[in-house]
Structure 1
Amino acid sequence: MVEGLGLDVSMLVRLAVAFVLGLPVGWERDHRALSPGLRTFPLVATGACAFLLIGQHAFPGEARAQGYVFQAVLSGIGFIGGGVIVKGKGEIQGIATAVSIWITAAVGAAIAYRLYWLGVVLSLTTVATLQLLRPFRHHP
């Protein structure tokens, strides 16, 4: 904590790491000209991280209260993810993007709780799955 400013440098670092780990997923979606893209995913990771950091700061040592914050973040992300799923022309589209948003929020959550290794693994496996398994998608 930087005295006089109320600034916790470790929080800023975690927000920055969450942002950086959200970028590869956003880049993958943007690279394929899919929306949401490059801007959305780092913001999802950073936002999830920020809300959980706020919960930790507002309710230190209160696991139940922090759990409520965590649940609220998950509900909000579910709402956002649901917004990218569309049904049309006899098929449903956007499920992989919705799940990517969900996982990117988990990246931010992992970083908020200093589980850096988990955030990195989630980010990389999400991008790898979207890239490497694309040729195996079922198309009717």
Structure 2
Amino acid sequence: MEIYEVVIRLLLAILIGGLIGYEREFKNRPAGFRTHILVCIGACVISMIQLYDVQKTVQLILAQPQLASALKADIGRIGAQVVSGVGFLGAGTIIHEKGSIKGLTTAASLWVVACIGLAIGLGYYYLSILAAIAVAICLVTLKKFESRFLEKASVIKIQIEYLDKKEMVQKVDSYFEDKNVKIKNIEFLLEEELEGEFAYMKSLYTILVPRYVRREELIKDLASFNEVLGVSII
């Protein structure tokens, strides 16, 4: 392999890894610009090492034909270890926070950058460039499509003031179940005096609301319960 080929492949690895990493950095993800570049360069280097091994093996066999049955060059073995090994790096970007999982897209982008790096190192330029374009489209364009059209639940906190705890909890639970709203957490706050006569309580609900359910509708419906004194979004 000529020196200019090595330079071209390393520069392309930096370009493609940086392109994908910039998008992750812009979204303030755990693995960003430099991480993706390093993964892509590393995978590219491994691919070129494999090519050098194959070339060296061929040269030895041509020089000493009797070694043909003894020398073997498996061009895919080291690359397979890279693909599986990057999975551990990707696992480090996945965060479990309050019942939700974050970082899966970044972990996947690291994995695909490693795959593209292997392709660059092996000299598959068209494949590498087209794959990078496909990844960029997936991360940028499809993100907008996903946010606009695909149903996703949003986390909101609702504070409810009420008089009868038992009745309120039963009605609210039943209402949320009908609306396919999932309760992540409930905090029951201290009782307070209302006009010196009645004691009322506050509860803070952390809920997952589907996209098709309007927040205004939730507030209006909950406020209509007889036991509820007030509802507000925190």
Q: What one-letter code is carried by the residue in structure 2 that aligns with 1:81?
A: G
User: Is 2:39–2:113's contact at 8 Å kept on the other side of the alignment?
Assistant: yes
Which residue among 23, 27, 32 is the counterpart of 1:37? 32
> What's the offset of the Cα at 1:96?
0.6
1:100 aligns with: 109
Which digits, 9 at most, give the CA deviation of each residue in 1:66-125, with x for residues without a partner?
221111111221111111112221111111111101111111111112111111112122
Write the mapping of 1:122-133 to structure 2, written as runs, cut at 5 A.
122-133=131-142
1:82 aligns with: 91
User: Is 2:51–2:122's contact at 8 Å kept on the other side of the alignment?
Assistant: no
Counterpart check, 1:70 vs 2:79: yes
| Pair 1:39–1:63, CA change in 2 (3 A) | farther
Whole-Å separation in 2 of the counterparts to 1:53 and 1:8: 12
Counterpart check, 1:23 vs 2:18: yes
Kindly report structure 1 stretches of 4+ aligned residues shifted beyond 2 Å. Answer: 58-66
- Comparing both chains, which one has the higher relative contact order based on Cα–Cα distances under 8 Å and sequence gaps of 6 or more? 1
Aligned pair count reads 135
Which residue among 3, 24, 42 is the counterpart of 1:8? 3
SS of residue paired to 1:92: strand
| Pair 1:130–1:63, CA change in 2 (3 A) | farther
Instruction: State the TM-score, normalized to the length of structure 1.
Output: 0.85
> What's the offset of the Cα at 1:12?
2.1
Q: Which runs of 5+ in 1 are unaligned?
A: 2-6
Higher helix share: 1
Whole-Å separation in 1 of the counterparts to 2:119 and 2:72: 16
Which residue among 139, 143, 146 is the counterpart of 1:134? 143
Q: Which runs of 5+ in 2 are unaligned?
A: 59-70, 154-234
Instruction: State the TM-score, normalized to the length of structure 2.
Output: 0.53
> What's the offset of the Cα at 1:64?
5.2
Identify which range, 66-75 or 56-65, moves more after superposition: 56-65
Whole-Å separation in 2 of the counterparts to 1:118 and 1:36: 24
Q: What is the root-mean-square deviation of aligned Cα atoms in Å?
A: 2.0
Paired-residue identity, % = 31
